[in-house]
Amino acid sequence: MPAEDNQIVHVIEINSDKDIIRARKIVRALTIELGFGKLDQAKITTVVSELARNIFLFAHCGVINAMSVERACKIGISLSAVDNGPGIGEIQRALRPYTSSSNGLGVGLPGVRNIMDEFSIKSSECGTEISTVKWLEKYG
């Protein structure tokens, strides 16, 4: 069976506070299903919370894609956040701790980058796409 037939994919629309909670629940369940330990379950759930909260705060609506990934005998979880909001003006600045354009602490994105193994941002005045992956250690 090709690997993609086993892939788990969740597309979670973010339009409200309730959707952030829903995204947390779905992602926590996925981390458990994939075999992440308790600490990683908590960290990855925090990541989806931060990404979803940023969508809601800065773009009002968007989508979180949560899926299993398999590459070179490794498995992991991929979380991406996509919106059509105003975009992040200065990406390098946004990635520095304690720089927030709202009343936040400005620790969301730096925290996401620290927790995840892969992290990239594409952003323009037409929207933002943040893509991340966390690999499962000691798989198999």
Per CB under 6 A, which region of 12-20, 41-49, 63-71, 96-104 contacts ligand ATP?
A: 96-104
Write out the binding residues for ligand ATP, residues 121-140 only, by CB under 6 A.
128
Per CB under 5 A, which region of 5-13, 26-34, 50-58, 78-86 contacts Mg ion?
A: 50-58
CA 19 to CA 80: how far, in whole Å? 15
80/100 with CB nearer ligand ATP: 100
**In contact, 53 and 106? CB cutoff 8 Å:** no
Which amino acid would we find at residue 123? Answer: S
CA 111 to CA 134: how far, in whole Å? 13
Q: Which does 94 bind (CB under 5 to 8 A by kind): Mg ion, ligand ATP, none?
A: ligand ATP
Choose, by CB under 6 A, the member of 88, 116, 133, 136 that binds ligand ATP.
88
- Residues, the chain: 140
Q: Is 59 in the site for ligand ATP (CB under 6 A)?
A: yes
